[in-house]
Structure 1
Amino acid sequence: MELSDVDLNLLLLFQRLMQERRVSTVAEQMNMSQPGVSNALAKLRRRLGDPLFVRGPGGVVPTPFALRLAEPVSQALATLHAALNPETGFDPLLATRTMTIGMTDIGEVVFLPALVERLSREAPGIALNTVRDTSVNLSDEMADGRVDLAIGLLPQLKGGFYQRRLFDQRYVCLFRRGHALEDTPLTLAAWREAEHLVVVSAGTGHGQVEDWLKRRGVQRQVRLTVPHFMSVGYILQRTDLIATVPERLASQLALPFSLSLRALPMALPAAPIHLLWHARVQQDEGNRWLRGVVSDLFADTAPQVRKTRPVQKRS
């Protein structure tokens, strides 16, 4: 038998009869006449090929088949009722779910330690996954519900997304303690003459900074190029290379790798870092709670949420 062969109202009637064992009581509860209940029960009997209930002292008595059917029908109806009537009020202490955030390797260093620490105290049942926002089609992943939030400079997320500005990412110069530049003014000439570690991170805010330097013809001695930031601390710690990196990343690397950071001798454009989510989870209480935690931990200013606009195609 297919589910399409059974009327949901008949299962509700069956559940009520299992509970009450009296046709008159069920008729009153379901706002039906007693003949109406009898007709509906007859229809369900034909569908299932079993009498289901027989007359007994003071009411009806379920058959063995009805007794076997009672628990799974009750569980199915309870599940459906819960899905159609979700509980309000998200309780992070009791929540058990996995949430996925799109971010860069910089984001993992800057955001994850504080975020995981906060969740361990306030939401011990919530686990986190991260995905590289440049290695997946983030727009599709978020629209399909596989990624809950994204953090970064993500101009590709247009129509259908909400965003909250967290901060403007500024850049500094980073090098080992004891470097020749540590006790002298960091002039543009000194910065250009030093040997540089450069991170080529296409599609990210840092990649745009590299493009800005090239467009303005800012020359420097590039000794080493790497495709990500994970090795920056280790390399700078043991060499005389210097690197131009986001200020928040530099602050995280300085202490464990014995590094010094200095203001750059030129004004690089700051990259606006946003928290983004798809419109489909705008009202999801768990997502809303996690958005609040991220904003509380990392936002520089009061919340200003706006919806991104779709790209206008030119005719």
Structure 2
Amino acid sequence: MSVNLASIEMRLLVVMDALLAENSVSKAAARLGMSQPATSNALNRLRQLFNDPLFVRVGSAMQPTARSQELAAPLSEALRQIENILVPQDFQPQDMPWVFTLAVSENASAVLLPALLAHLAETAPNIRVLAESHSNAQLVEMLDRNAIDFAIGVIPHLPRRFSRAPLFHDRYVCMMRRGHPLAQGPLTLDEFLQAEHLAVKPGFGETSRVDQLLAERGIQRNIFATAHQFVAAPAIVAHTNLLALMLERMLPMFDTSALHITEAPVEGLSVRSDLVWSQPRSSLPSHKWMARKIQAVARTLPQDPRQTPDAALPALANSLRHDKGDRPWTP
């Protein structure tokens, strides 16, 4: 049976794509810059169009029906093809509003995002960035269905169908409260192993990256407590005798007056944050433009990992103003 495409409003299909990506009316509305009532109204019209509930509530969550799941991949691909047709081959961000969705690690959010957003606000004010937090385990599926445009973080293992470009390096240092018995001199490996530690784990059931690095060296910490975010670590450490391994580039965002920072007694505790994207999207002019911007900002990060963001931003802005964007992006 043929369908009269002229009778179908394209925005409804865009809303459907966002609902499939978010499984939430409120999150889909935020993603699209629509009000929640307007998004709910669009969902009702989609239900009439497809003659299916499309999403059903299970507890507090929305779950896609079988029909929705069948639609997900072909709908996403069709919208991407339309996007390719409509986007000018020479992407000019000042000519149109554009939204990029990034999955950004906590470390990259603190280190890279302030400079990136400051630069975009000055040079491309029509661009909007949605920065989301997702575990590495979720990234493959989200990149495959175009729920995110890029992922930024320490992402060790990915199938070959994804591309990556290095952005910046960081290393772990040891943090404890000022006045801690171990703060009197250099921390030895024996002291490190005997002490109780706070581990920062990215998600439920995952081993922290630094504990993976330690395990590769045959070292296991005495973990007394865990937290899911680095932002919680300084306050916890300041009020206990726990030690924590902290990424050095994050230190400027904290008040370290109550903390003692020292070298970890284990060599090689360093990580690299990468920019990751799906290869099929590499040809999109908009993606090439954004990838260049992200890599350009990363190149201007201060060499001193403990330089404060306020001190670094003027230098970053000056450097980026002279970056004409003509460097090839890393494909």
After TM superposition, give the deviation of residue 149 of structure 1 in Å: 0.5
**1:195 touches 1:242 (CA, 8 Å); kept in 2?**
yes
Q: Residue 167 of structure 2 contacts residue 295 of structure 2 at CA under 8 Å; is this kept in 1?
A: yes
Q: Which runs of 5+ in 1 are unaligned?
A: 6-80, 307-315
- Is the CA contact (8 Å cut-off) linking 1:198 and 1:226 kept in structure 2? yes
Given that 2:288 and 2:329 are in contact with CA atoms closer than 8 Å, whether structure 1 keeps it comes out as no
Structure 2 residue aligned with 1:245: 246
Is the contact made by 1:139 and 1:156 (CA closer than 8 Å) also made in structure 2? no
Q: After TM superposition, give the deviation of residue 208 of structure 1 in Å.
A: 3.7
> What residue is the counterpart of 1:210 in the other structure?
211
Deviations along 1:216-252, one digit per CA (max 9) or x if unpaired, are 5535443322233231122123333221122222x23
Deviation readout 1:235-292 (Å, 9 max, x if unpaired): 123333221122222x234446753422211113433321111122212222222212
Identity of aligned residues (%): 26
Per-residue deviation, 1:150: 0.7
Q: Which has the larger radius of gyration?
A: 1
In the other structure, the counterpart of 1:128 is 129
- Structure-1-length-normalised TM-score: 0.60
- Residue 161 of structure 1 corresponds to 162
Residue matched to 2:330: 305
Deviations 1:165-187 (CA, angstroms, capped at 9, x unpaired): 12333211123344444441222
Unaligned runs of 5+ in 2: 7-81, 304-326
Contact 2:291 2:329 in 1 (8 A): no
Counterpart residue identity of residue 223, structure 1: F
Residues 85-129 of structure 1: per-residue CA shift (max 9 Å, x gap): 743433334441221111223332333222222222222222222
Cα distance change of structure 1 residues 126 and 153 upon mapping to structure 2, 3 Å threshold? same
Question: For the Cα contact (< 8 Å) 2:196–2:224, is it kept in 1?
Answer: yes
CA RMSD of aligned residues (A): 3.7
Tell me if structure 2 keeps the 8 A contact 1:174–1:262. yes
User: Number of aligned pairs?
Assistant: 230
CA gap of 1:185–1:114, structure 2 versus 1, over 3 A, is same
Quick one: distance in 2 between partners of 1:82 and 1:245?
A: 41
Give the stretch that moved more between structures: 195-204 or 159-168.
195-204
Asked if the contact 1:205–1:271 (Cα under 8 Å) also holds between the matched residues in 2, the reply is no
Report what 2:268 is aligned to: 268
CA distance in 1, matches of 2:166, 2:120: 22
**1:82 and 1:277 mapped to 2: Cα distance?**
17
**1:63 paired residue number:** none
Alignment of 1:14-93 (within 5 A): 84=85, 86-93=87-94
CA contact (8 A) 1:95 1:123 kept: no
Please say which of residues 215-224 and 169-178 is displaced more in the overlay: 215-224
Change (3 A) 1:289 1:183: farther
State how far apart, in whole Å, the 2-side matches of 1:213 and 1:273 are: 18
**Structure 2-normalised TM-score?**
0.58
Give the aligned residue type for 1:243.
A
1:8 is matched with which residue? none
